[in-house]
Amino acid sequence: MKKLNEFIDKIIDGIIKGRLEEKDDARLKVIVKILLVFVIIAILALIITSCSVSAKKNNTKHYVTLGEYKGLTYTPMDATVTDEEVTAKIVSYAEENAVYTQDETRAGTLVVDGDSINISYKATCGNISFEDEDIEVRIGKGEFANLEAALIGQTVGSTVTVSSVVPTDYTKIVVPDGCQGEIVDFTVTINYANIVIVPEIDANLASQMSGGQCATVDELRTYVKTEMEAAKKSQAETQKKQDLLAKVIANAEFENIDELVDDYYDTVYDTYISAAENNNMSIEDYVRYFHQMSLSEFTEGLKESVTEIVKEQLVLKAVAEKEGLEVTKGSAEYKEYMTSYLVEYGYESEEAFINHYGEDSVLESMTYDKALEFVAANSVAEEQ
């Protein structure tokens, strides 16, 4: 599970760094993650279909022997929210909604730590050149990595040259292939400094941040704390289930799963081949451009993730079979699962969701969720 999450996070970060501006990151990370979940569910349906080809393939005992899955221990994640965290959340929101306007009085003055400046740059790395313009950089926020230090003390309106090794985790620069980890020569023009107007934390901001639900700052603090507590509790429950599932997998014995893994891997990889062809790109270029990975890194991570997913589904199916767990269409729990699926995956109706993934696949996924909830309900929290 950890390998899968790390691999997916790397893909998400690669997409965002390679294609999108920072101001869109938060919204687009949600969208990208949902799209990746769509892919996983769709491919899971293919696995289920392939497992039904023969009685042998449909028998989980052919693939997995369960170990201990009841009475497993886990370390509870702290889900408390402090007043300091609430304050930081509100302040962060205010800063994110700051208004930036050009400060004409700053022309010719020196850049200092904490300034907000607008820059353009041209860069070379060997025989590779790239450039960008109209970039807002807040000095001291780590947005331009170690280049920020070189800009402090420079004159607003001037052009400076600086060389730096460019890491792959820059938030402001789309780094071309071949330049990650290499020395890059930058010619940076400091166009102007900004006046940054951060909105007051008052009734207007309270209403804006809460979508009209709060009329005062005190109400906003209560609202934010409640939202943060719900998010942390959800995160804690997710972490608990991930940790327990990892233990179930570790306690199980697997055999004969190579065929399932290979089928799953080929299906995913073929979708990337098709996507690359549709973009008139080689698979190597496609993976580098969209995911900021070499093909070998991508295929290695994909194979590990596929293996992990296959093992997850096998143990959950085995638990469901052993405990007689099943979700039937129209039941109360079916409706509860469906409601959460529609919200999580952004579908407006059950019909649309079923049409996209297939009724059998959706029911199977619900059964897997029910099996994991059974494991969680029969676990024991370790004392902290």
Does residue 372 or residue 295 have the better pLDDT? 372
Kindly tell me the burial class for residue 159, based on how many C-beta atoms sit within 10 Å of its own C-beta (0-12, 13-18, 19 or more): middle
Percent of the chain with pLDDT over 90: 51
CATH of domain 99-197: 3.10.50.40
User: Within a 13 Å sphere around the CA of 181, how many CA atoms are in the beta-carbon half?
Assistant: 2
Report yes or no on whether pTM surpasses 0.85: no
Q: Each residue of 314-373: pLDDT tens digit?
A: 999 999 999 999 999 999 999 999 999 999 888 999 999 999 888 988 998 899 999 999
Q: What is the residue extent of each domain of the chain?
A: 2-67+252-381, 99-197
Q: Each residue of 167-218: pLDDT tens digit?
A: 666 656 667 766 777 788 999 999 999 999 999 999 999 999 999 999 999 9
Which of 142-151, 206-215, 239-248 comes out lowest in average pLDDT? 142-151
Region of 319 on the Ramachandran plot (φ > 0 left; ψ -120 to 50 alpha; else beta): alpha
Q: What are phi and psi of 140, to 5 degrees?
A: 100, -5
How does DSSP assign 77-118, residue by residue?
PP----HHHHHHHHHHHHHHT-EEEE-GGGTTSBP-TT-EEE
